[in-house]
Amino acid sequence: MKLFRHFLSAAMAVLLFTCGPDEAPEDAEGQISFSIQNISNLPSGGRAEADPADITHALVTIENNSGEVILDREEINVTAFGDGFITDPITLVIGDYNLTEFVLLNDSDEVIFATPTAGSDLAYLVENPLPMSFTILEGETVESSPEVIDVTASIPEQYGYFGMNFVIIETFDLMISTLEQNTSGSYYPVEYQLDISSGGSEVTSKSLPVGVSVVKLRSDVTDYTLDVTTTNGGEFNRSYTVSELLDHDVDTNNPLTILIGTDGGTSVGDPCTNNAECGSGFVCYNGTCQIDANGDGIPDEICGDGIDNDGDGTVDEGCSGTDADGDTVTVEDGDCDDNDPAVNPLMPEVCADGIDNDCDGFVDEDCGVDNDGDGVTVQDGDCDDTNASIYPGATEICGDGIDNDCDAQVDEGCGTDVDGDGVTVEAGDCDDTDASIYPGATEVCGDGIDNDCDGTIDENCGTDADGDGVTVEAGDCDDANPAVYPGAPEICGDGIDNDCNGSDLQGTTYYRDADGDGFGSFSQITNSCTGPPLGFVSNATDCNDFDFTVYPGAPEICDGVDNNCDGSIDNDCLPPE
């Protein structure tokens, strides 16, 4: 099923029937009903979109201020009334309440409209996600204007609200990816942070992986500003009109490709009149900027984007082969590690990591730094490149308190070392019965011991407001939460960097399988730490996720449909049963 396509701005009319003005008994009751108006401006047709004309009843959940459920998915009839609809009234005692769920259903009991709850994936698309508080007062009418989303392709239990007047607000699904230029001038896919704003206000902020991602946006605004920051520090900022971004909607199969070069960011498709406007690594081709890494004046073919970038009439030529890590370089094209997107012939060599990053058969080539001229580079293990007498294999000089041979031990073999920590009593070990105590050891705050033998106990131990034993100075990245500190167990998907390593476990990406044939699509993407949610699978290869008989490998039937998703219709087909 299709992702959410509409918002429905809603308003509730509450009718109260109470006692006279001079009396208000504690059990005085009022009635609320929900009116649904102004539906004539809804679009006709459309695939997998909800139609308000199909609404037959509603389910409402209401709690009091103590959290007690007063109405638990109470079913209410919906009746046509003039140009709209109205529900049967509900009777409530006057007081304060919280609306926790409101959904509208059709005659098949399928939820077709609702509102996201606070904290759900699409809560940012509405101003007031559930729950919403309201008060029923004697003699007064309560009014509100919540927003309701078409949820025909979602999970209904995370949505709700009370009463509505429908006014359509369209949304679209932006496909986007980011490539970054390396030192050789080539572009490779990277992880990045995407911040989107409109009219000076933040819309959404997402950490996105290598490859093409989908971001849902409202189309009732004029423009959006996209701010991209890569894991390597590359930056890109540009404003787009909604009409420009609609050219990269998920239905177009034309992702917006952000390219971040060494001289700034350029996006494939930026308008231009000459090459200089596009910058290094690009060519102005047919009025738009295109990648030209080799500088031959012809756009490079970008593998996997489904576009004839170089205008030769062929899409993604030379791109066939195995590309398990999604770095757009196949094994056949020279990717020497197809499980690591940071390793391929387009990547720069990263010194001292012991990996052939650029797949040229050499590890850490051209990486040596030897400032002291002792013949050993920093990359080869020189632990002090300002002193020519210090390098791996040098003679250890007893009593100087220096690790001359770069083996992480000071003055080893030079005297008494009962605890075997590599530092002798003669070299300054102030407790030769404890291998964790020696000059240069880390001071352990709060243990009352001079761990580093400098004559001072627990120096520079700093602030530990949450009492987890790790100070801010020692790396506690949230000193208000005792469950967050370096080395803490990382909890998948909680949105918190528990172990202070700079990232949170995001879980596995799954794709919507609307027709239940075991093959998903990009229509809806989610992350999960506990396996695939109901209705989701780990692949996105279905070419028609609305028909369970159509999927990769399905029997090809002579019915005018590409049943097996191989791009051809009725090839070697079987007669229909």
**pLDDT by residue (tens digit) across 89-145?**
777 788 888 877 777 777 766 777 776 677 666 666 667 777 878 777 776 656 545
Contact between 543 and 537 (Cβ < 8 Å): no
User: Do residue 36 and residue 22 come from a single domain?
Assistant: yes
Tell me what the mean pLDDT of segment 306-315 comes to. Answer: 72
pLDDT at 302 over 80: no
What residue numbers bound the domain in which 246 lies? 170-267
User: Do residue 15 and residue 114 come from a single domain?
Assistant: yes
The band of 1, judged by pLDDT with boundaries at 50, 70 and 90, is very low
Residue 444 lies in a domain: no
Residue 167's nearest CA partner among 9, 12, 5 is: 9
Total domains, the chain: 3
Residue 550 lies in a domain: yes
pLDDT tens for residues 528-573? 877 888 989 989 898 988 888 889 988 888 888 888 898 888 788 8
Residue 144's nearest CA partner among 201, 87, 188, 98 is: 98
Residue 115's nearest CA partner among 100, 134, 105 is: 100
Rounded to 5 degrees, what angle do the CA atoms 404, 406, 408 make?
A: 110
Q: Which of 38-52, 457-471, 520-534 bottoms out in mean pLDDT, i.e. has the lowest?
A: 38-52
Which domain-ending residue is among 137, 166, 195? 166
Cis, bond preceding 131 (omega within 30 deg of 0): yes
Which domain-ending residue is among 239, 267, 295? 267
| Structure tokens belonging to residue 179 | 């490539």
Contact between 412 and 422 (Cβ < 8 Å): yes
CA separation for the pair 301, 315 (Å, rounded): 8
CA separation for the pair 275, 35 (Å, rounded): 58
pLDDT at 496 over 60: yes
Question: What is residue 223's predicted lDDT score, i.e. its pLDDT?
Answer: 92
Residue 480 lies in a domain: no
Question: What is residue 184's predicted lDDT score, i.e. its pLDDT?
Answer: 58
Tell me what the mean pLDDT of segment 481-507 comes to. Answer: 83
Question: What is residue 130's predicted lDDT score, i.e. its pLDDT?
Answer: 74
Under DSSP, the state recorded for 564 is: T
Residue 57 lies in a domain: yes
Contact between 428 and 398 (Cβ < 8 Å): no
Contact between 305 and 312 (Cβ < 8 Å): no
Residue 405 lies in a domain: no
User: Do residue 155 and residue 218 come from a single domain?
Assistant: no
pLDDT at 5 over 60: no
Selected residue with higher pLDDT from 492 and 230: 230
> What residue type is assigned to position 295 of the chain?
G
User: Do residue 158 and residue 102 come from a single domain?
Assistant: yes
Question: What is residue 525's predicted lDDT score, i.e. its pLDDT?
Answer: 87
Question: Does the CA dihedral 137-143-144-150 come out positive or negative?
Answer: positive
Distance of CA 419 to the CA centre of its chain: 49
Tell me what the mean pLDDT of segment 455-480 comes to. Answer: 78
The band of 41, judged by pLDDT with boundaries at 50, 70 and 90, is very low
CATH number of the structural domain spanning residue 97: 2.60.40.3540
Contact between 469 and 495 (Cβ < 8 Å): no
User: Do residue 72 and residue 202 come from a single domain?
Assistant: no
| Structure tokens belonging to residue 29 | 């009751």
User: Do residue 51 and residue 158 come from a single domain?
Assistant: yes
| Structure tokens belonging to residue 372 | 């002291």
Query: What contacts 430, CB < 8 A, 6 or more positions away?
Result: 437, 438, 439, 450, 453
CA separation for the pair 224, 201 (Å, rounded): 10
Question: In sequence order, which ranges of 252-326 are alpha helices (DSSP H)?
Answer: 275-278
Which domain-ending residue is among 166, 194, 224? 166
Contact between 401 and 412 (Cβ < 8 Å): no
CA separation for the pair 409, 533 (Å, rounded): 52
Tell me what the mean pLDDT of segment 442-461 comes to. Answer: 79
Selected residue with higher pLDDT from 493 and 237: 237
CATH number of the structural domain spanning residue 217: 2.60.40.10
The band of 420, judged by pLDDT with boundaries at 50, 70 and 90, is confident
Question: Does the CA dihedral 513-515-516-519 come out positive or negative?
Answer: negative
Residue 62 burial class via C-beta count within 10 angstroms: exposed 0-12, middle 13-18, buried 19 and up: buried
Residue 413 lies in a domain: no
Tell me what the mean pLDDT of segment 158-167 comes to. Answer: 36
Question: What is residue 552's predicted lDDT score, i.e. its pLDDT?
Answer: 92
**pTM of the predicted structure, to 2 decimals:** 0.33
Rounded to 5 degrees, what angle do the CA atoms 67, 491, 203 make?
A: 70
Strand order in the sheet with 223-230: 201-208, 192-198, 223-230, 235-241
Question: What is residue 225's predicted lDDT score, i.e. its pLDDT?
Answer: 93
Selected residue with higher pLDDT from 230 and 472: 230
pLDDT tens for residues 56-101? 877 778 888 888 888 877 777 777 666 666 667 777 788 888 877 7
Contact between 423 and 410 (Cβ < 8 Å): yes
Selected residue with higher pLDDT from 340 and 577: 340
User: Do residue 156 and residue 211 come from a single domain?
Assistant: no
User: Do residue 217 and residue 73 come from a single domain?
Assistant: no
Question: What is residue 36's predicted lDDT score, i.e. its pLDDT?
Answer: 56
Selected residue with higher pLDDT from 375 and 484: 484
Selected residue with higher pLDDT from 170 and 492: 492
Selected residue with higher pLDDT from 67 and 42: 67
Q: Please give the mean pLDDT across all residues of the chain.
A: 75
User: Do residue 189 and residue 102 come from a single domain?
Assistant: no
User: Do residue 526 and residue 564 come from a single domain?
Assistant: yes
pLDDT at 193 over 90: yes
Instruction: Calculate Rg over the CA atoms of the chain.
Output: 32
pLDDT at 195 over 90: yes
The band of 491, judged by pLDDT with boundaries at 50, 70 and 90, is confident
Question: What is residue 9's predicted lDDT score, i.e. its pLDDT?
Answer: 38
Question: What is residue 194's predicted lDDT score, i.e. its pLDDT?
Answer: 94
Residue 18 lies in a domain: yes
CA separation for the pair 365, 360 (Å, rounded): 10
Question: What is residue 7's predicted lDDT score, i.e. its pLDDT?
Answer: 39
Tell me what the mean pLDDT of segment 147-174 comes to. Answer: 52
Residue 468 lies in a domain: no
Question: What is residue 39's predicted lDDT score, i.e. its pLDDT?
Answer: 38
Question: What is residue 40's predicted lDDT score, i.e. its pLDDT?
Answer: 30
* Rounded (to 5) percent helix, strand, coil in the chain: 5, 30, 70
Beta bridge partners, 64, equal 97
User: Do residue 34 and residue 149 come from a single domain?
Assistant: yes
- Percent of the chain at pLDDT > 90 equals 4
Question: What is residue 227's predicted lDDT score, i.e. its pLDDT?
Answer: 92
Selected residue with higher pLDDT from 445 and 66: 66
Contact between 97 and 60 (Cβ < 8 Å): no
User: Do residue 122 and residue 32 come from a single domain?
Assistant: yes
Question: What is residue 22's predicted lDDT score, i.e. its pLDDT?
Answer: 44
The band of 264, judged by pLDDT with boundaries at 50, 70 and 90, is low
| Structure tokens belonging to residue 134 | 């309201």
